[in-house]
């Protein structure tokens, strides 16, 4: 799972993806919650939870709160270190017992489940994640607008008319596809990118950014930093607008992207160019044919919608059930939020006099489009503060 979002931050920009088309899902399909991440209902030893579907991971992971709050009783446990996005690691628990679980009508068993903190980087809604290995000999269909997935045994069971297919490269349990990215009129490049539906954003590695001198050639960018960039904790980089992205024979213009400045962890790798996450993938109906190493793409109704650049200047996760509010997870450099004193780990209690527990995601995304200032009431280590600032896109799109 990769989010800065990356392995997991819930970006306000993507919250409008929670809106579901009012079209019934196909018979036998699995309903999902899509809010920048794909969450599926899974039952582990009769305990139900919402698990993030993650092609950037292999096995099952439990959130530590989900694990401790439920009557699991396993015997073979081991303490381990795990790495991911971010410059450090987490201490985690490895469950070596055999565990049975069910996704819709499909039954599975697995061992070596990792237990670690996911809610701090993904919010209370996330109870864990399910990785790629359970679909490695299947066909996985994802429909973002209608919010369902479907699992098939072979591609012959799926209607692929209108789709274009591209080859998937597998490497150490992960999947990659080729892309071309044009930064501006000075720099464009081709490379392989990790396909990660466990990431809400798309990020280029720090090694590629260094090799192509992003700091010099990208003039219009906004720095960000987060304490909860992923499993590895602290992460930083820059958000920018790429002139275009070409995937197969599809062309996207003015694409929101990031590049990392991490010195360790996944986003410092030299083995691939970056991560392609849901802010790009959600513009397609998708079919993964893992039997034949192919990815099928068909533009959906969101394909031609213009990207919108962040206007809040901070990211957060919804922790109102476990922390009493929304926890600030990251900030943009020189944003109004930062200048007015908002800090990482502040707990937002209300926004413009609306208690956060009463705010629906779909309503909130529309709400921010209609206002140009916010008043936050925050709890900072027991002290209640009011922070007010204007909001506006930190980068505007240039006409081409």
Instruction: Map 53-80 to HEC letters.
Output: ECCCCCCEEEEHHHHHCCCCCCCCEEEE
70 contact partners, CB below 8 Å, separation of at least 6: 47
Q: How do strand 373-380 and strand 113-116 relate by DSSP bridges?
A: unpaired
Domain region containing 212: 155-299
Q: Domain check: are 208 and 291 in the same one?
A: yes
Confidence band, pLDDT 50/70/90 cuts, at residue 3: very low
Question: pLDDT tens, 245-288?
Answer: 999 999 999 999 999 998 887 888 999 999 999 999 999 999 99
Find the CATH number of the domain harbouring 276.
2.40.70.10
Token pair 């997935």 is found at 149
Q: Domain check: are 140 and 177 in the same one?
A: no
Q: Are 15 and 365 in contact (CB under 8 A)?
A: yes
Q: Domain check: are 357 and 368 in the same one?
A: yes
**Other C-beta atoms within 10 Å of 257: how many?**
25
Q: How many domains does the chain have?
A: 3
Report pTM. Answer: 0.89
Burial 210-241, CB ≥16 within 10 A → b, else e: eebebeeebeebbebbbbbbbbbbbbbbbbbb
In a domain, 216, yes or no: yes
From 264, 299, 334, give the residue that closes a domain.
299
More confident residue, 360 or 282: 282
In a domain, 304, yes or no: no
Question: pLDDT tens, 160-205?
Answer: 999 999 999 998 889 999 999 999 998 999 999 999 998 889 999 9
Q: Domain check: are 176 and 222 in the same one?
A: yes
Q: Domain check: are 168 and 244 in the same one?
A: yes
From 299, 323, 338, give the residue that closes a domain.
299
Q: Domain check: are 145 and 165 in the same one?
A: no
From 101, 133, 152, give the residue that closes a domain.
152
In terms of phi and psi (left: phi > 0; alpha: psi -120 to 50; beta: otherwise), the region of 303 is alpha
In a domain, 205, yes or no: yes
In a domain, 270, yes or no: yes
Find the CATH number of the domain harbouring 342.
2.30.42.10
């Amino acid at each position: 799972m990769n989010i800065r979002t990356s392995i997991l931050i819930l970006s306000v920009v993507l919250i409008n993806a929670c809106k579901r088309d009012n079209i019934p899902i196909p018979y036998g399909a699995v309903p999902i919650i899509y809010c920048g991440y794909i969450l599926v209902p899974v039952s582990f030893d009769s305990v139900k939870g919402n698990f993030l579907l993650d092609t950037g991971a292999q096995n099952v992971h439990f959130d530590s709160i989900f694990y401790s709050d439920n009557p699991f009783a396993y015997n073979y446990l081991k303490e381990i270190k795990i790495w991911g996005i971010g410059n450090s690691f987490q201490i985690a628990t490895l469950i070596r017992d055999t565990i049975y679980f069910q996704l819709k009508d499909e039954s599975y068993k697995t061992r070596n489940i990792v237990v670690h903190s996911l809610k701090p980087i993904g919010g209370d809604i996330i109870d864990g994640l399910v990785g790629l290995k359970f679909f490695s000999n299947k066909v996985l269909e994802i429909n973002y607008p209608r919010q369902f997935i479907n699992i098939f045994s072979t591609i012959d069971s799926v209607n692929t008319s209108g789709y274009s297919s591209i080859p998937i490269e597998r490497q150490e349990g992960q999947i990659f596809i080729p892309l071309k990215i044009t930064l501006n009129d000075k720099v464009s490049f081709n490379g392989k990118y990790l396909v990660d539906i466990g990431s809400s954003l798309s990020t280029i590695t720090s090694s590629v950014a260094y090799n192509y001198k992003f700091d010099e050639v990208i003039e219009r960018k906004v720095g960000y930093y987060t304490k909860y960039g992923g499993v590895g904790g602290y992460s930083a980089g820059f958000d920018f607008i790429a002139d275009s992205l070409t995937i197969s024979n599809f062309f996207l213009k003015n694409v929101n992207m990031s590049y990392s400045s991490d010195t360790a962890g996944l986003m410092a790798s030299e083995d691939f160019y970056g991560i392609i996450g849901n802010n790009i993938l959600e513009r397609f109906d998708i079919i993964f044919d893992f039997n034949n190493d192919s990815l099928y793409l068909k533009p959906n109704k969101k394909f031609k919608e213009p990207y919108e650049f962040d206007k809040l200047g901070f990211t957060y996760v919804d922790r109102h059930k476990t922390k009493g509010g929304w926890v600030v997870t990251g900030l943009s450099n020189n944003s109004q939020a930062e200048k007015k004193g908002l800090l990482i780990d502040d707990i937002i209690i209300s926004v413009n006099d609306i208690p956060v527990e009463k705010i629906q995601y779909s309503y909130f995304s529309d709400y921010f489009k209609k206002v140009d200032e916010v008043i936050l009431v925050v709890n900072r280590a027991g002290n209640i503060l009011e922070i007010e600032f204007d909001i506006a896109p930190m980068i505007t799109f240039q006409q081409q």
